Amino acid sequence: GQVIRLADYSPADFVLERTDLTFELDPRSTKVEARLIFHRRPGVAADAPLVLDGDELSLSGLLIDQAEAEASRYTVTPDRLEIRDLPEESPFEITVVTIIDPESNTQLMGLYRTNGVYCTQCEAEGFRRITYFPDRPDVLSPFTITIIAEKAGNPLLLSNGNFLGGGNYDEGRHFAAWFDPHPKPSYLFALVAGDLGVVEDTFTTASGNEVALKIYVEHGNEPRAAYAMDALKRSMKWDEERFGREYDLNIFQIVAVSDFNMGAMENKGLNVFNDKYVLADPETATDADYANIEAIIAHEYFHNWTGNRITCRDWFQLCLKEGLTVYRDHEFSADQRSRAVKRIAEVRHLKAEQFAEDSGPLAHPVRPETYREINNFYTTTVYEKGSEVTRMIATLLGDDGFRKGMDLYFERHDGEAATVEDFVKSFEDATGRDLSQFKLWYSQAGTPLVTVSTAYDAAARTFTLSLEQMVPATPGQSAKQPMHIPLKFALIGENGGEIAPTAVSGGEVSGDVLHLTERSQTFTFTEVPDRPVLSLNRGFSAPINLSFDQSGADLAHIARHDSDLFARWQALSDLALPVLNKAANDARDGKVVSVDPALVSALIETLANDKLEPAFRAQALSLASEADIARELGGNNNPDAIHAGRNAVLKAVAEKGFSTFERLYKELAPKGVFAPDAAGAGRRALRNVALTYLAHAEESPARAAEAFAEADNMTELAHALTVLAHRFPEADETLAALAAFATRFDTNPLVLDKWFSIQATIPGEAALARVEALMKDPRFNAQNPNRVRALVGTFAFANPTGFNRVDGAGYRLLADQILAIDPRNPQLAARLLTAMRSWRSLEPVRAEAAKAALGKITGAKQLSADVADIVERMLK
Ligand code: B3K
Ligand code: ZN
């Protein structure tokens, strides 16, 4: 694929006024007739041709103003249709007829079949696999859709917008027509046809319009869609209350399908979901599943305004809809659950995924400036860092200023394809704040490092805070400008209360936000009566790394007293990190791992504090993962040593806190009927953490086996199985539990995915053979993306010791899988490959083996643009 550049953007020559599509569905031979009304944009040369995009298409008919086009007027290839000699002024009509084969579409882009259902996925460039079209996000038009299909097997014929009508068509066939009045780009088109069950409800908008809500699932799964429906109604209400955004059609539909390349898709009025993010009941879904369903239902719904009503001018602006919509779904979940606990989970995820991406070969700005394959830019940087950038705007402007800016953005750009500049300008114009330096967050890649030093002068009663920022070099960007970094902070006094600073010099401080704008900057606070403890970057107000040599005593003080629960968690993890790092190094050097008793007592004090919500305590006791430790160590990583060191720390905490863990494990045993609410989930999370520690102390599978036998919900059942499998892989209890689980959930592929994932993450050498055996298991299906991600993906992404075997066999397995998957599903293959993005920070023997496996991929004859792009960037 060639390189596409942001700098080369220019608007399309022809304006699309209307799109009219007729589908005659057939599994192997679907006829698509597209009638498109265009006019030439003023100023465009009279002889400029109309160029339409295609992808693996063949043209079976072309009409210009309803007359068959002479061969001399067009040139066609599978990926391009050029039409010449077009009318100069008046609108003209182009009719394109293509025949496509949904059944053989294994890429899952365009129109394909999943379990007998016709379904589409068009973002980013899938529509061009359906018909020749100006397939770019800044070409918007209203769509009229007619679907014709055999009645048998296809009672449902769905598309975007409002239902116009339907009826019998001819022998055995029927039709349905839909009209979407809201102009949209082709990537938001959707069609679904098949035989599915439905759950129905209604929602009345603030202005009194009644909206029909429908969620379609496989027959028999209807009861498992109730939670998704509830989450949808809460999302609709929340967007009205928080952002004043109402729904704008008389129907909103969601379809759950079992073959899908990602989580879900926000097609206008007809969202298509991976069934993993719709289906839930207590027997089969964990609390994490419920939380994901709630967040993704909300995310896709929120796209109706941020993405659909206002879309992106070009794909470089992807963060405009994705970063903003992630921010919106984060805020929604924070309002539905515990805000602090939600923030902790977000930051853990951000560091694990985005910080890892940002420090490796795939680092790129929130708004990239070039790409070869746009599907490779649906990244954690665009999504999660994009959300953090939006959150920083809210921090800079305050709640009211942020809302004013959003209102102005909606007012100015509704119905348009906008840019990041338009977005930022709305905030500037609404509040008068200059965001020109702040905008560097969109263009500079890399996680800024802020180095902190403090001094207290008792005689002068001054506290000085010196900050220095450095943005590391990233691919294509060697020199960086200083950024505008909003740092929430507090000065905490000896008694635990906050000291309100009377006066500050050295830079802008507004309320609890300190603005770091220079490369290095010193802030001086006067009239500070006692030496304060600085709590910095509270709430993770900026997505940065801090280098701050804060004493253990100060961190413990924050962990005990900060009124910001997030900051308390952060202080505990800052306390733990050097201990975990040292443990890893001790294990590597063959020394006995020693664990700082101050950390152990701070953790146990938090654990035992019943005034703190259980979900928070569960987060506090969940130590940094092995991947987190590897990232902190920075380079020359030995995953086996990290694993051994971390386990030694867990064991020390488990032994010292044994009685508290045991008390909590008993007290938190489920009472009454299961409810998937945040409070219940918090209790289960803490009980699960207790079980993990108890297993480290007891070194026996007995308690986990008992937990497995007694569990009445999937959260505890799956966790008990995880403890058994990960801690006691060879025990009879474990083998029995694995077998019982598989038998019990034999007919539920989504639950079997948990069974695959738990086994794929058993640490150590034996993992590889286990994964290979599971790939041959009749319950595995290499054609289904969820199965592949659950087994192969989880092994590569989440089993550091098993995957990073010193002999390189883990990397070779992944390389072989990528080469096998790539020809049928390039997006899935490219995504799996990113599991190796941190290969350069491994110790030399493993790094060499990883490089060889990557070399095997580059050496392959036929690579998709998706995989070629990733592997080449990883080796650069
Ligand atoms: N917008 C889609 C993602 C499309 C991915 C295309 N490769 C889902 C979402 O972010 O809501
Ligand atoms: Zn999205």
Tell me if 1 is assigned to some domain: yes
Amino acid sitting at position 422: D
Please name the residue that has the structure tokens 């900051």.
567
65 with 189, same domain: the answer is yes
**Closest residue (by CA) to atom 8 of ligand 1?**
265
Task: Confirm or reject: Cβ of 300 under 6 Å from ligand 1.
Answer: yes
Structure tokens at 380: 């954690």
- Residue 838: domain span: 752-876
229 contacts 201 by C-beta, under 8 angstroms: yes
**Closest residue (by CA) to atom 7 of ligand 1?**
375
457 with 333, same domain: the answer is no
How far apart (Å, rounded) are the C-alpha atoms in residues 521 and 316? 33
Tell me if 251 is assigned to some domain: no
Angle between the 318-336 and 420-431 helix axes, to the nearest 10 degrees? 60
Domain stop point among 487, 521, 549: 549
Tell me if 276 is assigned to some domain: no
Ligand number nearest to the C-alpha of 265: 1
837 with 858, same domain: the answer is yes
* Domains of the chain: total: 4
- DSSP state for residue 841 in the 8-state scheme: G
**Secondary structure class of 380 (helix, strand, coil):** helix
**Domain containing residue 776: CATH number:** 1.25.50.10
403 with 480, same domain: the answer is no
Tell me if 457 is assigned to some domain: yes
Residues tagged active-site: 300
How far apart (Å, rounded) are the C-alpha atoms in residues 37 and 501? 64
**Secondary structure class of 821 (helix, strand, coil):** helix
CA of 869 to the centre of ligand 2 (A): 23
789 phi, psi to nearest 5 deg: -65, -40
CA of 466 to the centre of ligand 1 (A): 42
Tell me if 145 is assigned to some domain: yes
**Closest residue (by CA) to atom 4 of ligand 1?**
123
Ligand number nearest to the C-alpha of 267: 1
Task: Confirm or reject: Cβ of 156 under 6 Å from ligand 1.
Answer: no
**Which atom of ligand 1 is nearest to 303's Cα?**
11
Cβ count within 10 A of residue 743:
8
840 contacts 847 by C-beta, under 8 angstroms: yes
Write a three-state SS string for 612-657.
Answer: CCHHHHHHHHCCCCHHHHHHHHCCCECHHHHHHHHHHHHHHHHHHC
Q: What is the CA radius of gyration of the chain?
A: 28
CA of 264 to the centre of ligand 1 (A): 7
**Domain containing residue 79: CATH number:** 2.60.40.1730
CA of 110 to the centre of ligand 2 (A): 18
**Domain containing residue 371: CATH number:** 1.10.390.10
Task: Confirm or reject: Cβ of 384 under 6 Å from ligand 1.
Answer: no
Q: Nearest CA to 328 among 302, 291, 307, 309?
A: 302
**Domain containing residue 536: CATH number:** 2.60.40.1840
Task: Confirm or reject: Cβ of 163 under 6 Å from ligand 1.
Answer: no
Ligand number nearest to the C-alpha of 127: 1
Q: Which residues contact 744 (CB under 8 A, 6 or more apart)?
A: none
CA of 738 to the centre of ligand 1 (A): 34
- DSSP state for residue 70 in the 8-state scheme: P
How far apart (Å, rounded) are the C-alpha atoms in residues 366 and 385? 7
738 contacts 722 by C-beta, under 8 angstroms: no
Cis peptide before 853 (omega within 30 of 0): no
Q: What is the pLDDT of residue 31?
A: 98
37 with 59, same domain: the answer is yes
CA of 128 to the centre of ligand 1 (A): 17
Task: Confirm or reject: Cβ of 135 under 6 Å from ligand 1.
Answer: no
Beta-strand relationship, 533-536 and 503-505: unpaired
Q: What is the pLDDT of residue 502?
A: 74
641 phi, psi to nearest 5 deg: -70, -40
Ligand number nearest to the C-alpha of 375: 1
Structure tokens at 495: 């008694």
Q: What is the block-wise mean pLDDT of the chain (876 residues), using blocks of 10 residues? A: 95 98 98 98 96 98 98 98 92 98 98 98 98 99 98 98 98 98 99 98 98 98 98 99 98 98 98 98 97 98 99 99 99 98 98 98 98 98 99 98 99 98 99 98 98 98 97 98 98 95 90 97 95 98 98 97 97 98 97 96 98 98 98 96 98 98 98 95 98 98 98 98 98 98 98 98 98 98 98 98 98 98 98 98 98 98 97 97
**Secondary structure class of 143 (helix, strand, coil):** strand
Task: Confirm or reject: Cβ of 299 under 6 Å from ligand 1.
Answer: yes
What b/e readout covers 71-97, taking b as 16+ CB neighbours within 10 angstroms? eeebebeeeebebeebeeeeebbbbbb
Task: Confirm or reject: Cβ of 373 under 6 Å from ligand 1.
Answer: no
Task: Confirm or reject: Cβ of 265 under 6 Å from ligand 1.
Answer: yes
**Closest residue (by CA) to atom 10 of ligand 1?**
322
498 contacts 491 by C-beta, under 8 angstroms: yes
**Closest residue (by CA) to atom 1 of ligand 1?**
265
529 with 468, same domain: the answer is yes
Cβ count within 10 A of residue 15:
18
Please name the residue that has the structure tokens 């879900």.
264
Q: What is the pLDDT of residue 744?
A: 98
How far apart (Å, rounded) are the C-alpha atoms in residues 277 and 290? 8
Q: What is the pLDDT of residue 500?
A: 86
183 with 319, same domain: the answer is no
Task: Confirm or reject: Cβ of 658 under 6 Å from ligand 1.
Answer: no
436 contacts 473 by C-beta, under 8 angstroms: no
**Closest residue (by CA) to atom 5 of ligand 1?**
123
307 contacts 325 by C-beta, under 8 angstroms: yes
Tell me if 88 is assigned to some domain: yes
Beta-strand relationship, 191-194 and 50-53: unpaired
184 contacts 159 by C-beta, under 8 angstroms: no
Q: What is the DSSP string of 221-264?
A: -GGGGHHHHHHHHHHHHHHHHHH-----SSEEEEEEES--SSSE
Please name the residue that has the structure tokens 């443990």.
583
CA of 269 to the centre of ligand 2 (A): 15
366 with 408, same domain: the answer is yes
CA of 738: how far to CAs of 691, 795, 869, in Å?
18, 17, 39
How far apart (Å, rounded) are the C-alpha atoms in residues 302 and 435? 25
Domain stop point among 522, 549, 576: 549
**Secondary structure class of 60 (helix, strand, coil):** strand
272 phi, psi to nearest 5 deg: -110, 130
42 with 12, same domain: the answer is yes
254 contacts 266 by C-beta, under 8 angstroms: no
**Which atom of ligand 1 is nearest to 264's Cα?**
8
380 contacts 447 by C-beta, under 8 angstroms: no
How far apart (Å, rounded) are the C-alpha atoms in residues 750 and 796? 19
61 with 116, same domain: the answer is yes
**Closest residue (by CA) to atom 2 of ligand 1?**
265
Q: What is the pLDDT of residue 221?
A: 98
Pocket test for ligand 1, best of 268, 325, 378 (most atoms within 8 A of CB): 378
CA of 297 to the centre of ligand 2 (A): 10
Q: Nearest CA to 685 among 288, 343, 348, 280?
A: 288
Q: Nearest CA to 628 among 793, 794, 798?
A: 798
Domain stop point among 549, 583, 599: 549
Q: Which residues contact 755 (CB under 8 A, 6 or more apart)?
A: 721, 738, 741, 742, 745, 779
Ligand number nearest to the C-alpha of 188: 1
Q: Nearest CA to 808 among 857, 841, 862, 849?
A: 849
426 with 519, same domain: the answer is no
Q: Nearest CA to 797 among 612, 630, 611, 567?
A: 630
0.90 surpassed by complex ipTM? yes
**Closest residue (by CA) to atom 9 of ligand 1?**
265
Please name the residue that has the structure tokens 């061969």.
71
Task: Confirm or reject: Cβ of 125 under 6 Å from ligand 1.
Answer: no
Task: Confirm or reject: Cβ of 318 under 6 Å from ligand 1.
Answer: no
Task: Confirm or reject: Cβ of 123 under 6 Å from ligand 1.
Answer: yes
Beta strands in 292-369 (DSSP E): 311-312
397 with 498, same domain: the answer is no
Q: What is the pLDDT of residue 1?
A: 72
Tell me if 620 is assigned to some domain: no
Amino acid sitting at position 599: L
Beta strands in 368-492 (DSSP E): 370-371, 417-418, 449-457, 462-470, 485-492
Tell me if 625 is assigned to some domain: no
**Which atom of ligand 1 is nearest to 261's Cα?**
7
CA of 108 to the centre of ligand 2 (A): 18
